[in-house]
Structure 1
Amino acid sequence: MNNAVMLLGRISSKSSSKFSTFSIAYLPFLLPRFNSDNVSHQARHFSGNPEDAIALFDRMLRTLPTPSAFAFNKLLTAVVKKEQYSVALYLFDEMLHRDVPENLCTLNIAIDCYSRLKRPELGFSILGCVLKRGYEPDVVTFNTLIKGLLLVGKNLEAANLLKRLFTESLCQPDEASCLNIISRLCEPAMLSLLKRGWRKARVYDYYAVIVDAMASTGVSPDTLAYNSIMKGLCDLSRWNEVENILKKMVANKVYPDLNTYNMLVDAHCKEGRVEAAEHVMKNMNVEPDIVTYNSLIHGYCLNGKMNEAGSILRIAVNSGIKPSIVTYNTLMNGHCKKGGVGEVFRLFMEIHAQGLERDVVSYNIMLDALCKSRRITEAFTVFNTMEVKGIVPDIVTYSVLIEGLCSAHCFAKAFSVLNKIEDKGIDLDTVIYNILIKGLCSAHCFAEAFSVFRKIEDTGLDPDTETYNILINGLCKDSKVKQAKDLFSVLPSPDVVTYNILIGALCKEGEMEEAKFFMKKMVNNNCLPDRITCNVLVRGLLKKNMIRDAIQLLEEMDSRKFTIDATTLSMMESRGIKSVRRRSVKKESRYQDEK
């Protein structure tokens, strides 16, 4: 019989409880035994190592009458405070083995130890013991279990447990637990999962239940809690629910603060919803600050509306708001993307005139604008000035320079910059190597490109899917489809871009059967074709007069609501195809052209 069964046998009881729906979650479990090599602890009554705790425990056992559960709990608590969780669990095991007095607090301490050891499943096993002993779990029990789930990233499971506490009236969790879960549900990693559809439908239910329950039980969510919820929903683009939460917030007499408005303005702008951001800003009941204006400027820059972005800057200045370095960097970046190197330079010079200090981001944008204009010599002049001013170049700085040199086919100098980075001991990633490989492929220097590819592996990095896509795309553009297929065969996880490149190349060469084979292959590999895949294949089929196959694929596109590119539509019309219902036409955007 293992330790788990023995332990549960010692504390088993058949008392009834309203918590009987809970059962022992995970069995068997193994309680850690004491190890004299454990890190020494320092508790108030100990000299400094675990043996002292055990010695005190033994003395307590020999004391007559036997000390109360309260006394033993004080010992366990002292051990836990010194982070000696395994020692505390060893003493807990001994208490059960020797029929030492215990109570709910004792069991809560054991649950806490397992939570801190990131073994929440064993904490739930102790919950089963709590119920079998006839105790009713209290708020401490459940708060500790929730903490254990959160510590291992099981945020939705923690939220589900909290929801049950409210909906089944098991107990009333404290405000800290509620706010902690709301915060955890809004973390970037959690939102990333939700964006991919993982349990996405459930998250708002958790938000709503937790907030409503908090309000109904007198635990009032504060502005920070509401802000966290709205931030999470904004990141999921669930704007109607954001509006509902905002209304509920005001109804509960919790009012938006500047952080609320800044978060909403920023979220709208990042999604390209600048008009919605303007609406929020106009209805603010507090004065906007530079963060508010910076978000709005960023929104206009993302939409390429540089005149409007400049107008926002003037409004901010006229309102007595001093621009920050973020303001200028945002405007510079917007003009850089529009090819306005002159305006970038003007803003770059204005930074100093405004009494601000340029940072590495300012220099990186200036370098990028010059490199994109093929003004490489001037770019290196700025780079040298940067070092003189004490601004330490980062990996982005060097990436910009290498990309600029590659676009000008100055590969010798690009390799020189790469060597300089390596000599400085700067940690490199695949991105900078991908830039160099892309430049070499565009110049048909495939031997050198594959040399860099091998160098990635030699440095201990793994070439990523983008690395392979760049090489495969370059080979296909150079009509080296066989070599591209050979490289494709060793790619661990091709993505939709990889397939689109290869299918496009095969269609260009008229190899339609092989193109269809690769489309089936991508489906079998759980990589679903997208609009680009289908349009490329339809054009290839029409070019080979495989009308029936083309119509079949067009009907499939229609069922999936894929749009038809202008070039595809033109080819359909030239062949008299009118039976397929057409959807809105989008401007053609093939990966090969984008690269």
Structure 2
Amino acid sequence: MDRCACPEAAPTIYTYNILINCYRRARRPDLGLPVFGRLLRTGLGPDVFSYNALIDGFSKEGEVDKAHDLFYKMEEQGIMPNVVTYSSLINGLCKTKEMDKAERVLRQMVGTGIRPNNMTYNCLIHGYSTSGMWKESVRVFKEMSSSRLVPDVSNCNSFMTALCKHGRIKEARDIFDSMVLKGPKPDVISYGALLHGYATAGCIAGMDNLFNVMVCEGVVPDRHVFNTLINAYARLGMMDKSLLIFEDMKKQGVNPDIITFSTVISAFCRLDRLDDAMEKFKHMIDIGVPLDTAVYGCLIQGQCNRGDLVKAKELISDMLSKGIPPPCIKFFTSIINNLCKEGRVAEGKDIVDLIIHTGQRPNLITFNSLVDGYCLVGNMKEAVGLLDSMESVGVEPDIYTYNTLVDGYCKHGRIDDALTLFRDMLHKRVTQVFHTTSFSMARRTVVAKEMFHEMIESGMAVSIHTYATVLGGLCRNNCTDEANMLLEKLFSMNVKFDILTSNIVIRAMFKVGRMQEAKELFAAISTYGLVPTILTYRVMITNLIKEESFEDADNLFSSMEKSGCTPDSRILNEIIRMLLNKEQAVP
């Protein structure tokens, strides 16, 4: 551009627009701005195409504010936006899921006398779909059809994709059949959208039927179609069928990609066919498909599940040597958790060595999974020994760790050990929620009550949620004296409850015979800035019926809908059942 110094070679506005558009295509609209600024300084002045290139570029990159700034500047300069300008803005807003704003731009567009085109509607259909508002996608598609604008293949494809994404396969098939009969003719994307819908819904018969139609119509499958079929069969364990499609894909000159191989390898690992998985892994390397963490993760998990940690460690070393990031700590913890649930705790503990081999450190969740596993198999010595292991790597046990250990002792009849550990918790000032409820579930009432009294006497500074949880446990265990004592302590704290705590406290008050106070707390909920939930109403109404306070229950039921809380089937069924038991009419 700088070389064009002589008048004969001076760039025109067309030249500037080409350059700005190149930056748009390269997804670097920010680099187009200096060119745009230079265009302003030349005195030539930008036109609608200059602005459209930048607005579209920024919209596609999600920088909607910059796109809007350019739009306002465009209007200030007296340059009239056209359908491309508005559609680009709408597209940007749809990408950021700001559908209300997108609709406002659409109304502004129509208000200026510019008719939306197929691209405009396509953006809205896709935007509503990705925002989880498939019914709005239907509305837009119908609105488009009624405006005498014939939907093109892209509109139909977007609409079918939206329907399939939300499980509306029949409606999507109706659109497809209409395309076959009336046009536009379905393309490979049309088939791909519907095939993916069938596959996601597990409708293999419908998927097979449609694929046969596709072949008969001479529509050549692309990689997306092949991957959809391979994944559908592999997910159901139909590996022979999946591999047939895999081979057919190669015969038709469509190269498998990372998604294809990941799908097949993952399925083989799930089925414990690790030799087949490794064979596909080697094939992947041979044809130069880039490896990633997900593929290695499938193989590592397969070897861990089989108990071959030597091979798992070799795979980790291999990926690290290639500069591929190792699976995250959450991945390994998930494997440990699954092994522990199966009682294979020793194998789970060995995986901690793999975590360290990746250069990572086991976290609290990792250790808690192991503690839970050892308690499950009754190996309390190893479970408690993990407290030292945690300390050695700087991981602090939490309330879940202690709860699991205390509960483990109780389950195996070691009550004295449970109480000793609980006292250690008090000594260490563990302040989170202590689950006395775990003991009531196992009917260890004496232990639960003893722990409750020790917690109160210790002066332990626990949260309102802790007291609420313990209160719920005491009520379920019919410890009415302790529940009353705890209620008094709650009220003396003079704190504001949240709605969950309020529900627990109201239920507790009814349980210990303090109905009037329960009604007063319910009446005061709004003064705390809280809104009663369906659970709040259910607790109140069912307990009022239980206490035969039918008029109060009737009034409260009538007020539900007025307060914006519509009764659900559960509360209705519960009320009817209780009233029938009491031989009373439905309120």
Q: TM-score, normalised by structure 1?
A: 0.55
Contact 1:440 1:449 in 2 (8 A): yes
State the distance in 1 between where 2:39 and 2:103 align.
32
**Offset at residue 458 of structure 1 (A):** 3.3
Query: What is the one-letter code of the residue matched to 2:69?
Result: N
**Offset at residue 478 of structure 1 (A):** 5.7
Contact 1:504 1:536 in 2 (8 A): no
Counterpart of 2:25 in structure 1 is: 187
Matched residue SS, 1:494:
coil
Contact 1:541 1:549 in 2 (8 A): no
**Shift in CA distance, 521/317, structure 1 to aligned 2, threshold 3 Å:** same
**Offset at residue 485 of structure 1 (A):** 3.0
Contact 2:59 2:91 in 1 (8 A): no
**Shift in CA distance, 302/475, structure 1 to aligned 2, threshold 3 Å:** farther
Indicate whether 1:250 and 2:75 are aligned: yes
Query: What is the one-letter code of the residue matched to 2:215?
Result: E
How do residues 424-443 of structure 1 correspond to structure 2 at under 5 angstroms?
424-443=252-271
**Offset at residue 260 of structure 1 (A):** 1.0
Matched residue SS, 2:80:
coil
**Offset at residue 234 of structure 1 (A):** 2.4
Query: What is the one-letter code of the residue matched to 2:40?
Result: A
Residue by residue, what CA displacement relative to the aligned partner does 1:500-538 show, whole Å, maximum 9, x if unpaired?
42465468735797587468559xxxxxxxxxx988569
Contact 2:257 2:289 in 1 (8 A): yes
Counterpart of 1:51 in structure 2 is: none
State the distance in 2 between where 1:261 and 1:499 align.
46
State the distance in 2 between where 1:411 and 1:378 align.
19
Structure 1, unaligned runs of 5 or more = 1-111, 113-136, 145-171, 192-202, 523-532, 554-570, 580-595
**Shift in CA distance, 495/363, structure 1 to aligned 2, threshold 3 Å:** same
State the distance in 2 between where 1:535 and 1:237 align.
37
How do residues 12-23 of structure 1 correspond to structure 2 at under 5 angstroms?
none
The more displaced of 181-190 and 416-425 is 181-190
**Offset at residue 344 of structure 1 (A):** 2.5
**Shift in CA distance, 420/515, structure 1 to aligned 2, threshold 3 Å:** closer
Higher relative contact order (CA 8 A, sep 6+): 1
Indicate whether 1:376 and 2:204 are aligned: yes
Query: What is the one-letter code of the residue matched to 1:295?
Result: C
Query: What is the one-letter code of the residue matched to 2:331?
Result: I
State the distance in 2 between where 1:477 and 1:426 align.
33
Counterpart of 1:217 in structure 2 is: 42
Query: What is the one-letter code of the residue matched to 1:342?
Result: K
Matched residue SS, 1:357:
coil
Indicate whether 1:276 and 2:96 are aligned: no
State the distance in 2 between where 1:502 and 1:385 align.
44
State the distance in 1 between where 2:296 and 2:61 align.
31
Matched residue SS, 1:334:
helix
Counterpart of 2:315 in structure 1 is: 487
**Shift in CA distance, 463/572, structure 1 to aligned 2, threshold 3 Å:** farther
State the distance in 1 between where 2:366 and 2:55 align.
42
Contact 2:332 2:355 in 1 (8 A): no
Query: What is the one-letter code of the residue matched to 1:270?
Result: K
**Shift in CA distance, 283/189, structure 1 to aligned 2, threshold 3 Å:** closer
**Offset at residue 317 of structure 1 (A):** 1.4
Query: What is the one-letter code of the residue matched to 2:98?
Result: R
Give the alignment partner of residue 189 of structure 2, picking from 353, 361, 384: 361
Contact 1:290 1:324 in 2 (8 A): yes
Give the alignment partner of residue 402 of structure 1, picking from 227, 230, 246: 230
Contact 2:141 2:159 in 1 (8 A): no
**Offset at residue 143 of structure 1 (A):** 12
Residue by residue, what CA displacement relative to the aligned partner does 1:112-159 show, whole Å, maximum 9, x if unpaired?
9xxxxxxxxxxxxxxxxxxxxxxxx86448999xxxxxxxxxxxxxxx
Query: What is the one-letter code of the residue matched to 2:95?
Result: K
- Higher helix proportion: 2
Indicate whether 1:450 and 2:278 are aligned: yes
Contact 1:506 1:515 in 2 (8 A): no
The more displaced of 180-189 and 379-388 is 180-189
**Shift in CA distance, 446/280, structure 1 to aligned 2, threshold 3 Å:** same
Counterpart of 2:578 in structure 1 is: none
State the distance in 2 between where 1:209 and 1:188 align.
15
**Offset at residue 278 of structure 1 (A):** 1.1
Counterpart of 1:329 in structure 2 is: 157
Indicate whether 1:414 and 2:242 are aligned: yes
How do residues 308-323 of structure 1 correspond to structure 2 at under 5 angstroms?
308-323=136-151
How do residues 61-80 of structure 1 correspond to structure 2 at under 5 angstroms?
none
Contact 1:481 1:505 in 2 (8 A): no
State the distance in 1 between where 2:309 and 2:188 align.
42
The more displaced of 320-329 and 478-487 is 478-487
Indicate whether 1:463 and 2:291 are aligned: yes
**Offset at residue 311 of structure 1 (A):** 0.7
Residue by residue, what CA displacement relative to the aligned partner does 1:413-460 show, whole Å, maximum 9, x if unpaired?
211222222333333323212211122222232221111111223334
Structure 2, unaligned runs of 5 or more = 341-347, 373-385, 399-430, 436-459, 464-587
State the distance in 2 between where 1:139 and 1:345 align.
57
State the distance in 2 between where 1:230 and 1:541 align.
55
Give the alignment partner of residue 53 of structure 2, picking from 213, 223, 228: 228
**Shift in CA distance, 300/174, structure 1 to aligned 2, threshold 3 Å:** same
Contact 2:134 2:162 in 1 (8 A): yes
State the distance in 1 between where 2:396 and 2:44 align.
61
**Offset at residue 208 of structure 1 (A):** 5.3
**Offset at residue 258 of structure 1 (A):** 0.8
**Shift in CA distance, 511/454, structure 1 to aligned 2, threshold 3 Å:** closer
Give the alignment partner of residue 174 of structure 2, picking from 346, 351, 368: 346
State the distance in 2 between where 1:459 and 1:334 align.
35
Using the aligned pairs only, state the percent identity. 21
Contact 2:233 2:242 in 1 (8 A): yes
Indicate whether 1:265 and 2:90 are aligned: yes
Contact 1:515 1:537 in 2 (8 A): no
**Shift in CA distance, 539/305, structure 1 to aligned 2, threshold 3 Å:** farther
Counterpart of 1:287 in structure 2 is: 115
Give the alignment partner of residue 306 of structure 1, picking from 118, 134, 147: 134
**Shift in CA distance, 514/231, structure 1 to aligned 2, threshold 3 Å:** farther
Contact 1:214 1:221 in 2 (8 A): yes
State the distance in 2 between where 1:287 and 1:338 align.
29
Contact 1:230 1:242 in 2 (8 A): yes
**Offset at residue 190 of structure 1 (A):** 3.9
Contact 2:231 2:263 in 1 (8 A): yes
**Offset at residue 272 of structure 1 (A):** 1.7
State the distance in 1 between where 2:249 and 2:276 align.
19
**Offset at residue 378 of structure 1 (A):** 3.4
**Offset at residue 573 of structure 1 (A):** 4.3
Matched residue SS, 1:392:
coil
Query: What is the one-letter code of the residue matched to 1:256?
Result: P
**Shift in CA distance, 213/540, structure 1 to aligned 2, threshold 3 Å:** farther
**Offset at residue 297 of structure 1 (A):** 0.6
Alpha carbon RMSD of aligned pairs, Å?
3.9
